[in-house]
């Protein structure tokens, strides 16, 4: 009973950290909760007599559970081809220090790698994602990560390096795309406010659609000419957009779809509940402005 009480106390002490590890590995709050629950079931059956660092040991157990879940997720996606990766080995858990990460269970994956890169992480193999997240986010040594995925430290280092290059490349591409879109949205707002119909036409795709009823570049340009005076350039959940405000509160969000440097779709959301849930950061109309 004393051992079970010790386990319960250790698990409760480290649970927020374990939840953060699982969430960054899986990218899903519900799956992270499932992983932590499964880890608790496993540690309850484990021999803890030689565990010197409970936090590190529990992190290793959660990482193994997450790896199995990522492998299962991948196998479901590849079911049609039937080419599944081999099940990784399960050597004796090793102990490592917990460190290098914010343990808040409400922390988002974006805190570590950026919202736009979640899709990129999903393209990594489970072993690549585990190696990258555990090492780059949680500072776990390669040797100890290798014990989880049954790889040598050198092979684990290569996995993390390959994943890091893909993540960094995606970050650069995402930043470039966001910067280009910001310029287009800023130019659109300036043309709309200034009543410059021809400048609006230059920014719009010939088949552009706006607010569900205006179709074609001329119709969309006519609708917005002289409008949007109260709209401000902003990042809405990280994406360049425009926000109408009144008395300092957001009343409408104008979202833009941009393809080949032309605006193809404009939508307006005025739902108060949805607007309150958005992360809105107002920007100067042009990057050179203060």
pLDDT for residue 99 is more than 50: no
Extract the tokens encoding 23. Answer: 């969430």
* 3-state SS, residue 269: strand
Residue closest to 189 by CA, chosen among 179, 176, 203: 203
Domain 179-282 is found in CATH 3.10.450.50: yes
Bridge partner residues of 249 (DSSP): 246
Q: Cα(228)–Cα(185) distance, rounded to whole angstroms?
A: 12
Q: Cα(240)–Cα(180) distance, rounded to whole angstroms?
A: 9
CA 137 to chain centre: 13
Q: What are the extents of the domains in the chain? A: 2-87+111-173, 179-282
Give the model's pLDDT for residue 223. 92
Contact between 167 and 117 under an 8 Å Cβ cutoff? The reply is yes
Residue closest to 256 by CA, chosen among 276, 269, 240, 275: 240
Q: Cα(203)–Cα(226) distance, rounded to whole angstroms?
A: 15
Average of per-residue pLDDT across 249-254: 88
pLDDT for residue 274 is more than 70: yes
- According to DSSP, residue 116 is labeled G
Question: pLDDT-based confidence at 104, cuts 50/70/90?
Answer: very low
C-alpha distances (whole Å) from 242 to each of 41, 97, 281 are 48, 45, 10
Alpha helix stretches (DSSP H) within the chain: 2-26, 29-43, 54-77, 110-113, 118-123, 126-132, 142-149, 153-194, 197-203, 217-224, 272-276
Name the residue with higher pLDDT: 84 or 240: 240
pTM exceeds 0.75? no
How confident is the model over 143-198, as pLDDT tens digits?
989 999 999 999 999 999 988 887 777 666 556 657 888 899 999 999 999 999 99
Q: What is the CATH number of domain 2-87+111-173?
A: 1.20.140.160
């Amino acid at each position: 009973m004393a051992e079970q009480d010790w386990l319960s106390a250790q698990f409760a002490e480290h649970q927020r950290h374990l939840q953060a590890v699982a969430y960054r590995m899986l990218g899903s709050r519900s799956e992270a909760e499932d992983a932590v629950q499964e880890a608790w079931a496993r540690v309850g059956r484990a021999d803890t007599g030689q565990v010197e660092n409970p936090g590190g040991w529990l992190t290793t157990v959660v990482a193994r559970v997450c790896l199995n879940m990522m492998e299962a997720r991948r196998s479901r996606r590849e079911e049609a081809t039937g080419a599944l990766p081999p099940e990784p080995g399960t050597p004796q858990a090793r102990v490592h220090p917990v460190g290098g990460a914010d343990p808040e269970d409400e922390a988002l994956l974006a805190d570590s790698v950026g919202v736009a890169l979640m899709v990129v992480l999903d393209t990594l193999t489970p072993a690549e994602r585990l190696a990258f997240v555990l090492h780059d986010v949680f500072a776990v040594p390669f040797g100890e990560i290798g014990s989880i995925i049954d790889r040598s430290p050198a092979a684990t280092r290569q996995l993390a390096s390959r994943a890091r290059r893909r993540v960094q490349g995606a970050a650069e591409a995402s930043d470039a795309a966001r910067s280009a879109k910001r310029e287009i949205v800023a130019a659109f707002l300036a043309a709309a406010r200034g009543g410059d119909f021809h400048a609006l036409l230059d920014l719009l795709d010939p088949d552009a659609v706006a607010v569900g009823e205006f179709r074609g570049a001329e119709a969309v340009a006519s609708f917005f000419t002289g409008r949007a005076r109260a709209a401000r350039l902003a990042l809405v959940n990280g994406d360049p957009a425009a926000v109408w405000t009144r008395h300092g509160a957001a009343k409408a969000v104008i979202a833009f779809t941009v393809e080949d440097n032309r605006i193809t779709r404009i939508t307006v959301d005025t739902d108060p509940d949805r607007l309150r849930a958005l992360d809105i950061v107002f920007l100067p109309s042009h990057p050179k402005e203060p």
